[in-house]
Chains A and B, each alone.
Chain A
Amino acid sequence: MHPTHFMQRPVPEVLSWALTRFTRLITGAQARWLGCAPVPVQRIYFGNHNSHADFALIWASLPTPLRRMTRPVAGADYWNASPLRRYIIHEVLHGVVIERSREGSTVEPVDIMAAALERGDSLILFPEGTRNTTDEQLLPIKSGIYHLAQKSPQIDLVPVWMENLGRLLPKGEIVPVPLLCSISFGTPLRLQPGEDKETFLGRVREALLATMREARPAES
């Protein structure tokens, strides 16, 4: 866990606070804890991925004690591309940076994530692997989350469904529009003993869609 005392690291702390406030303001999103409570226990939060803002929204929606122990998993190709991005992902967000393409990397991404879990950190990750720009609700779930769950079957995986972020800040755009977004935390799941990959990935997908259905208001 990261010791984040304001006096030790004033600049990242102020940036972190500003990013949290800005994200909450521009999305207007109130976190809804539908399937679990916002308690500071170790978890893996996995969300649907439409926009860079997803990152910021999950992170900003966690109450401070939870946020302090939670690290977003981020792609090295994007986040290491410029000094500013590197600063933000490492110093402000405490991201776990992984190589998305296997070429040229000697360490398995899953091992890096598992190492973070062993230190007691929670993780934010997007099991679709990349941002969804299609009209489908979800892209196929990549197998990474299964391998991670195999290494840490005792940790709850919490589905997170976000709406409208793809419209707030579409891929390739810089200025966000202040459309109202929503974020809901669903019922946690774990890898069952002997569960095979396909079954588990199916359950991951279904957990996200179930959170979506629960979050959408029924028409009266």
Chain B
Amino acid sequence: MTHFQGTLLITAGVFLLLAGVTALGTWLKLVRAEGRPHPLIDNINQRIQAWWAMTLTIGLALVAGRIGVVVLFAFVSFTALREFLTIAPTRRGDHQALVMAFFVALPFQYFLVGVEWLGFQEVFIPVYAFLFLPILSAVKSDTRNFMECSGTIQWGLMVTVFCISHIPALLSLRIPGYEQRNVFLIVFLVLIVQSGDILHHVYSRLFGKHQIAPQVSPNKTIEGFIGGIAASVTLGALLSWMTPFTIIEAAWVSLATSLMGFFGGLVLSAMKRDRGVKDWGTNIEGGGMLDRVASVCFAAPVFFHLVRHWWSV
């Protein structure tokens, strides 16, 4: 399949899928819920709206090329970091560390992704931000809650900047026989994780009986977990044609990716519980940016490393 045919097929497929779920969501709202508020159906419709926005944005970025993709995910990171640090506690003495996190660490990480400096991209935040940001806080000589707040800032950077930057970094991988088609890896990753998310939600609501961590998220159940993962693995196998993987390989990669995605959602829910909030933000229908990308945050680095280790040169 040529690059052009592949692009056409994916675009058409994604739009048909979105049109289909939009029709389904509207039908559910009008017929099943008879236009009245309904938690599950309303939640699904909100997600569908967010998908349209996400698809159009990613589509435009892909058309704009490499720079477009890097800038788009830098913006996603910025919004997610902003939501994270708004809710996570920091102290007055952390102000300069926060300034550096937003205005130096974030742009520099995406600069490294942009110039394909893979080696430095993998250590900049885990090592250099980790060492230098607490120094800025320590010289302010405010020791109250020092450990929690330094940890918080580093954690925020790791999840919202380091992890998310692995999505555009997929474009930097050199995979023999897969030249010019790396953008499909991004599409594949996002589709696998998002479908796992939504099907988990649906299965949990329809068949969910056994909660996994009721204190963290009452909506996450073993039934939903199995349904969501199975759906992701099936979809991954079906979409193997857009990847450098065989069908079996695609299933395994999808399994690892969707498992990470599921637990990413769980971890970020635990954070929200800790801070006593329901959503990370109010910029997108049905929660913030971080609510939508929580699972892909955890999945992206693992997906990136699997592909890099076994398929790239």
User: Taking beta carbons and an 8 Å cutoff, which residues of A are in contact with B?
Assistant: 28, 133, 164, 166-167, 170, 173, 175, 177-180, 217, 219-220
Contacts and interface: CB of A to CB of B under 8 A. Distances in A.
A219 B276 CA distance: 7
Interface residues of B, number: 18
B278 A177 contact: no
A170 B92 contact: yes
B224 interface: no
Given A133-B92, A164-B86, A167-B90, A180 B281 contact: yes
B277 interface: yes
A133 B142 CA distance: 14
19 contacts: A28-B82, A133-B92, A164-B86, A166-B92, A167-B90, A170-B95, A173-B95, A173-B96, A177-B95, A178-B78, A178-B82, A179-B82, A179-B86, A180-B83, A180-B281, A217-B278, A219-B276, A219-B277, A219-B278
A180 B83 CA distance: 7
Contacts of A166: 92
B278 A220 contact: yes
A178 B86 CA distance: 9
A180 B99 contact: no
A217 B276 CA distance: 10
Interface of B: 78, 82-83, 85-86, 90, 92, 95-96, 98-99, 102-103, 276-278, 281, 283
Contacts of B102: 177-178
B279 to A, nearest CB: 8
A177 B100 CA distance: 9
A173 B99 CA distance: 10
A12 to B, nearest CB: 28
Given A167-B90, A170-B95, A180 B278 contact: no
A219 B275 CA distance: 10
Nearest to A219: B276
Where chain A touches its partner, the secondary structure class is loop
A9 B226 CA distance: 66
A181 to B, nearest CB: 8
Given A179-B86, A219-B277, 17 more contacts: A28-B82, A133-B92, A164-B86, A167-B92, A167-B95, A170-B92, A170-B95, A175-B103, A177-B95, A177-B98, A178-B82, A179-B85, A180-B82, A180-B83, A180-B86, A180-B281, A217-B278
A217 B90 contact: no
B89 to A, nearest CB: 9
B139 to A, nearest CB: 14
A58 to B, nearest CB: 19
B86 A217 contact: no
B219 to A, nearest CB: 12
A220 B272 CA distance: 12
Most buried by B among A133, A177, A219: A177
Contacts of A217: 277-278
A167 B90 CA distance: 8
Nearest to B92: A170
Contacts of A219: 276-278
A178 B98 CA distance: 9
Contacts of A173: 95-96
Contacts of B83: 180
A179 B78 CA distance: 10
Contacts of B99: 175, 177
A177 B78 CA distance: 11
Nearest to A176: B99
A164 to B, nearest CB: 6
Most buried by A among B85, B86, B102: B86
Contacts of B103: 175
A117 to B, nearest CB: 35
Nearest to A133: B92
A175 B78 CA distance: 17
Contacts of B90: 167
Contacts of B96: 173
Contacts of B277: 217, 219
Leading 7 A-B pairs by shortest Cβ distance: A180-B86, A177-B98, A179-B86, A175-B99, A170-B92, A173-B95, A170-B95
